[in-house]
Amino acid sequence: MKIVIKLAIIGLLASTCSTRAADWPWFRGPDHNGIAKETGWSAKWPAEGPKQIWKAKVGIGFASFSVSAGRVYTTGNAKDTDTVFCFDANTGAEVWKYSYPAKLDPKYYEGGPSATPTVDGDRVFTFSKRGVIHCLDAAKGTVIWSKNLMEELKVKMPTWGFASSVLIEGNLAIVNVGSAGAALDKTTGKVVWSSGADEAGYATAVPFEAGGQRAVALAIKQDVVALGVKDGKELWRFPWKTDYDVNAADPVLAGTKVFVSSGYNHGGGVFDVSAQPVKKIWENKNMRNQFNSCVLWAGHLYGVDEKELRCLVFDTGEVKWSEKSVGKG
């Protein structure tokens, strides 16, 4: 079955106009947690649904969208070619596009790129399924630098290709590649630190503060780890083994507690990472995120448990409610 992803922008706000809306410059939003800061949302839609403002065909893929300075960025695949698109957020007019050869790779699913573009000031960073990272000019789409990390670091490609979006931390671009991530100088693409050559996980690194230093939490092949941003030094780790080594949902952090979840009937759990070794607070099968990350809001986790939307109590893992109409979400 061929699926063509269409980017559709629809009017959802009751009072917030597009010129005042906050940017959403990378995967999971400005705070890396899936939470939007706008207010004035309308809870009631007309019977015919919200008004569609514009749409565009971008090919096959599983990337999401980034919004910065009035422009929308995403990526898709057509005819074994990945294309990064930049649209005017208000009109849908194509500002630029950049293409490069890339196999569709429809392995048990439709295929196409998995990583969402990351906008950092005047640059856009993308990461392909085959391990190619691009740094593009955000205004023009021209290549500033690119690297084939699979070749340079001699790492194994995971079964479904690399899926990590690029995380920008200071002057570093961090991706889930190799045994436990790698960091590049964002201005030049030079590798600053890297881990072993094992297959990567599919999640994106999540930044946080740890003992006065910047760190990232990362779901890798069979574990969840925390690394110091500056040097990649491991701060803590706990095992999280899933069938087919699919750890795709990003860790969700709340102080010294970390929620992690995976599909294939594994489930989820909350861990206290201030303890050594890391202490498990709870673990059950009430939330099985195969690829969509949960959102933590007001002490509750909201996410897709295999095929239904659920709300869990963060502290206990208790199910508060579930809704089956959304499927995998």
Residue 7: per-residue pLDDT: 58
3-state class (DSSP) for residue 227 = strand
> What are the residues facing 85 on neighbouring strands?
74, 97
In a domain, 30, yes or no: yes
Write the burial class of residue 298 (CB in 10 Å: 0-12 exposed, 13-18 middle, 19+ buried).
exposed
Distance CA 230, CA 321 (A): 41
Of 72 and 40, the one with more pLDDT? 72
- Cα–Cα distance for residue pair 235/162, rounded to 1 Å: 24
- Asked if residue 291 belongs to a domain, the reply is no
Q: What span, in angstroms and rounded, lies between the C-alpha atoms of 228 and 218?
A: 11
> Which two tokens mark 52?
């569609």
C-alpha to C-alpha distances, 49 to 39, 70, 163, nearest whole angstrom:
20, 24, 32
Residue partners of 45: CB distance under 8 A and separation at least 6: none
Asked whether the predicted pLDDT for residue 324 surpasses 70, the reply is yes
Token output for 16: 């917030």
106 in Cβ contact with 113 (< 8 Å): no
Is the pLDDT reported for residue 293 higher than 90?
yes
Residue numbers of the domain that contains 129: 1-141
Answer whether residue 13 is part of any domain: yes
Highest mean predicted confidence (pLDDT) among 20-24, 312-316, 325-329: 312-316
Q: Is residue 85 part of a domain?
A: yes
- Both tokens of 186, joined, read 């964002």
CB 135 within 8 A of CB 175: no
Average pLDDT value over all residues in the chain? 93
pLDDT of residue 22: 86
Looking at the domain assignment, is residue 93 inside a domain? yes
The amino acid at residue 185 is D
Does 230 reside within a domain?
no
171 located within any domain = no
The count of domains in the chain is 1
Amino acid (one-letter) located at 45: W
Is position 131 within any domain? yes
Check which CATH number belongs to the domain holding 89 and give it. 2.40.10.480
pLDDT of residue 168: 98
Q: Quote the CA–CA distance of 263 and 67 in Å, as a whole number.
A: 29
- Is 18's pLDDT higher than 70? no
Looking at residue 128, its amino acid is S
Two tokens, residue 71:
């422009």
What local confidence, expressed as pLDDT, does residue 6 receive? 52
E strands along 221-265, which residues?
223-228, 234-239, 252-254, 257-262
